[in-house]
């Protein structure tokens, strides 16, 4: 078992007076996450950052208003992940409700076109070109595609949240909180959040023009789209800063009230989830993967149609298709992980694993390499890039995941500047990035990546560490506390769900299908509690012995009966059977 270090999260100074009326545990948790006022966890829409802070917004709104007034055709070009799907669905739904004469969408199939607004994708609509293209969750790096659109007389509005290059694309307008000179306070908006703000600004312009009244349209209420914003934000694993937490919590409230789009409710339903009890993790680990599965294995249009339909029966049919795609995705991923394990073992025979690791196989599916990289990043505690071949052309598509302490996109940018031509193209964030490399350059790239990681990453970022919120008292280890924490989110990236640690006696232990393990644990002053570990163990801890675990509290709702369950994040220490010590 890999040795895992434990660090306990501490409050930054004394508990603020403003939090004193809360449950003592909640005071401690909020204070350690930097919360200083109850306003920060009220999650009122009045607390959202002002839309006017986004650079490029006026030009984008003006062009959209022109398109609406002149009844011009608008094409929304999205991405093939959950953020792209929700961004696309939000833009199409909103523009249609605003009275747009002709709104359609186009998602590049990752296997035929790759990512973003490419010249080849523009050529797909060249025979019947729209007057305006609006990119969502992409476009900031689509210089050549936008240039191609301009030659066809098509205007392009870029809405994106990815980090830009030094030269902006030649678009009619660019809305991206991460572009130079942008004053918007939340740089962590997902693509769907950027679209939400643009549509909110357009609605304000339409209201000023008495648009809805003069055309006999029902005024658009932007709150109606927050379920999509919540789903895309959580599924894209962007940091849940104060602004994103408001967007997510308001969206969750809409979902729990049954007011989400039928497709989102259907995706929860096929997963056996009660929408009235939806939390952020359900969006990230239940709905998001089913939506993403279409883009990974087939065509994301199925996912978008699921989010666009207002027919509950059609939504259920589409959600069932997505659920089946997700089952297929799991099977493909499982096969790839077995081969990746063997690759790692062969590498270790020749020496230690590199700090930055590249894995590739002729047999891998390019739609699933990101998941393989993510699994092995977690397992090996180092940046991992997984590659799979395109069907032709000799280019391999890579998807990488990083660890805290190494900005993955910056690492790729350093390699690209030092070794021009080694990477065909790349883009992404600190923790995730995509790239293309020619087959003959794979080995050279692997060496340069390992070398760059060694240069850029501090040594401590390779050490597996569990951050704990400390121990729970016996009177806190119960289902009431689990409910308290469940209802006091949303928890997520950079606003982490509480993790506790403690020593328990193993009353019973059993391996489950998939290599997981279920335990019954005891502790003085506490009734025996069920626990589950979603991780493969070579050997179960001995019954009668003790284990020190890091865990989360969970409410296990089985056939309407609720019970406390611990989700074991890590086993920190195992001690033998009491009779043998």
pLDDT for 231-275, tens place per residue? 999 999 899 999 999 999 999 999 999 999 999 999 999 999 999
**Alpha-carbon gap, residue 397 to 374, rounded angstroms:** 15
Q: How far is CA 564 from CA 148, 192, 482, in A?
A: 58, 35, 7
Measured CA to CA, the distance from residue 354 to residue 50 in angstroms comes to 45
Which phi and psi angles does 150 have, rounded to 5°? -65, -35
> What pLDDT is stored for residue 135 in this prediction?
98
C-alpha dist (Å) from residue 130 to 122, 150, 511? 10, 11, 57
What is the domain extent for residue 351? Answer: 335-462
pLDDT value at position 348?
A: 63
> In angstroms, rounded to a whole number, what is the distance separating the alpha carbons of residues 401 and 389?
18
Domain count, the chain: 3
pLDDT value of position 2: 56
286 and 243, same domain (yes or no): yes
CB 77 within 8 A of CB 106: yes
Same domain, 126 and 217: yes
Q: d(Cα 282, Cα 265) in Å, to the nearest integer? A: 12
Question: What pLDDT does 350 receive?
Answer: 57
259 and 380 part of one domain: no
CB 551, CB 571: distance < 8 Å: no
CATH number at residue 458: 3.10.310.30
Place of tokens 């006017």: 52
Q: How far apart are CA 436 and CA 425, in angstroms?
A: 6
Q: Are residues 493 and 562 in the same domain?
A: yes
In this structure, is residue 561 part of a structural domain?
yes
Q: Is the peptide bond before 126 cis (omega within 30 degrees of 0)?
A: no
* Domain co-membership, 398 together with 433: yes
- Whole-number Å distance between alpha carbons of 479 and 553: 8
CATH number at 499 reads: 2.40.50.460
Q: Are residues 220 and 290 in the same domain?
A: yes
Task: Indicate if 347 and 377 belong to the same structural domain.
Answer: yes
- Sequence-separated (6 or more) residues with CB below 8 Å from residue 218: 97, 212
Domain boundary among 290, 324, 358: 324
254 and 363 assigned to the same domain:
no
Rounded to the nearest angstrom, the gap between the alpha carbon of residue 410 and the centroid of all alpha carbons in its chain is: 20
pLDDT in tens, 180-234: 999 999 999 999 999 999 999 999 999 999 999 999 999 999 999 999 999 999 9
Q: Please check whether residue 569 lies inside any domain of the structure.
A: yes
**For residue 352, what pLDDT is reported?**
72
CATH number of the domain bearing residue 152: 3.90.1640.30
What token pair was written down for 360? Answer: 């590739």
Helices (H), 298-384: 301-308, 312-349, 369-380
Tell me the residue ranges of DSSP E strands in 320-440.
Answer: 357-360, 384-389, 395-401, 425-428, 432-438
- What crossing angle do the helices spanning 301-308 and 262-270 adopt, rounded to 10°? 110
Q: Let me know whether 342 and 447 are in one domain.
A: yes
146 contacts 119 by C-beta, under 8 angstroms? no
Q: Is the Cβ–Cβ distance between 162 and 429 less than 8 Å?
A: yes
Q: Tell which of 294, 324, 354 closes a domain.
A: 324
Same domain, 431 and 471: no
pLDDT tens for the chain, 581 residues: list them.
456 889 998 866 688 889 988 999 999 999 999 999 999 999 999 999 999 989 999 999 999 999 999 999 999 999 889 999 999 999 999 999 999 999 999 998 766 677 789 999 999 999 999 999 999 999 998 999 999 999 999 999 999 999 888 899 999 999 999 999 999 999 999 999 999 999 999 999 999 999 999 999 999 999 999 999 999 999 998 999 999 999 999 999 999 999 999 999 999 999 999 999 999 999 999 999 999 988 887 778 999 999 999 999 999 999 999 999 999 988 888 888 888 888 887 776 556 788 999 999 998 988 889 889 998 898 888 999 999 998 777 899 999 999 989 999 999 999 999 999 999 988 877 888 899 999 999 999 999 999 999 999 998 888 888 999 999 999 999 999 999 999 898 999 889 999 999 999 999 999 987 678 999 999 999 999 999 998 878 889 999 999 999 999 999 887 778 899 999 999 998 987 544 43
Same domain, 223 and 126: yes
434 within 8 A of 406, measured Cβ to Cβ: no
- Pairing outcome for strands 132-136 and 155-159: parallel
DSSP percent split of the chain into helix, strand, coil, nearest 5: 45, 20, 35
What pTM does this model have?
Answer: 0.89
Q: Which of 484, 354, 358, 458 is nearest to 406 (CA)?
A: 458
d(CA 350, CA 347): 6
Q: Which of 440, 462, 484 is the last residue of a domain?
A: 462
Q: Count H helices and E strands in the chain, helices first.
A: 18, 17
């Amino acid at each position: 078992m890999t040795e895992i270090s434990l660090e306990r999260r501490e409050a930054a100074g004394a508990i603020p007076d403003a939090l004193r009326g809360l449950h003592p545990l909640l005071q401690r948790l909020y204070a350690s996450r930097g919360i200083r006022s109850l306003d920060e966890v009220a999650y009122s829409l009045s607390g959202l950052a002002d839309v006017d802070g986004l650079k490029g917004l006026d030009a984008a709104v003006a062009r959209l208003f022109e398109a609406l007034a002149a009844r011009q055709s608008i094409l929304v070009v999205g991405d093939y992940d959950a953020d792209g799907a929700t961004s696309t669905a939000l833009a199409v739904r909103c523009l249609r409700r605003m009275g747009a004469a002709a709104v359609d969408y186009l998602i590049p199939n990752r296997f035929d076109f790759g990512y973003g607004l490419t010249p080849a994708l523009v050529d797909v609509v060249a025979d019947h070109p729209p007057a305006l293209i609006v990119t969502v969750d992409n476009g900031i790096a689509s210089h050549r595609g936008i240039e191609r659109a301009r030659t066809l007389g098509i205007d392009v509005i870029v809405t994106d949240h990815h980090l830009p290059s030094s030269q902006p694309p030649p678009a009619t307008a660019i809305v991206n909180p991460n572009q130079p000179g942008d004053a918007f306070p939340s740089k962590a908006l997902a693509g769907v959040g950027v679209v939400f703000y643009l549509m909110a600004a357009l609605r304000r312009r339409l209201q000023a023009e008495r648009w809805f009244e003069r055309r006999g349209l029902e005024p658009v209420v932007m709150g109606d789209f927050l379920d999509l914003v919540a789903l895309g934000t959580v599924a894209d694993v962007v940091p849940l800063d104060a602004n994103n937490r408001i967007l997510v919590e308001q969206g969750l409230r809409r979902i729990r009230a049954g007011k989400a789009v039928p497709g989102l409710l259907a995706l929860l339903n096929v997963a056996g989830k009660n929408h009235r009890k939806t939390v952020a993790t359900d969006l990230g680990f239940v709905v998001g993967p089913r939506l993403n599965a279409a883009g990974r294995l087939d065509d994301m249009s199925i996912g978008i149609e699921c989010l666009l339909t207002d027919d509950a029966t059609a939504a259920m049919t589409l959600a069932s298709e997505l659920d089946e795609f997700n089952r297929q995705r799991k099977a493909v991923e499982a096969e790839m992980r077995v081969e990746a394990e063997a690759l790692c073992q062969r590498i270790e025979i020749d020496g230690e694993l590199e700090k930055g690791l590249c894995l590739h196989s002729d047999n891998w599916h390019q739609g699933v390499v990101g998941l393989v990289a993510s699994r092995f990043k977690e397992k090996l505690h180092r940046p991992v890039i997984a590659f799979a071949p395109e069907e032709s052309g000799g280019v391999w598509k890579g998807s990488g995941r990083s660890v805290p302490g190494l900005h993955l996109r910056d690492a790729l940018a350093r390699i690209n500047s030092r070794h021009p031509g080694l990477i065909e193209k790349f883009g992404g964030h600190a923790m995730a990035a995509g790239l293309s490399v020619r087959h003959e350059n794979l080995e050279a790239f692997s060496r340069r990546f390992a070398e760059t990681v060694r240069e850029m990453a501090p040594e401590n970022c390779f050490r597996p560490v569990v951050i704990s919120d400390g121990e729970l008292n016996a009177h806190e280890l119960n289902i009431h506390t689990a409910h308290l924490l469940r209802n006091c989110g949303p928890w997520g990236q950079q606003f982490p769900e509480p993790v506790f640690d403690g020593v328990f006696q193993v009353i019973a232990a059993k391996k489950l299908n998939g290599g997981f393990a279920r335990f019954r644990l005891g502790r003085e002053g506490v009734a025996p509690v069920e626990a589950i570990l979603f991780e493969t163990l070579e050997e179960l801890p001995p019954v009668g012995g003790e284990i020190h675990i890091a865990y989360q509290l969970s409410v296990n709702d089985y056939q309407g009966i609720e019970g406390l369950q611990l989700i074991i994040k890590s086993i920190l220490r195992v001690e033998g059977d009491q009779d043998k010590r």
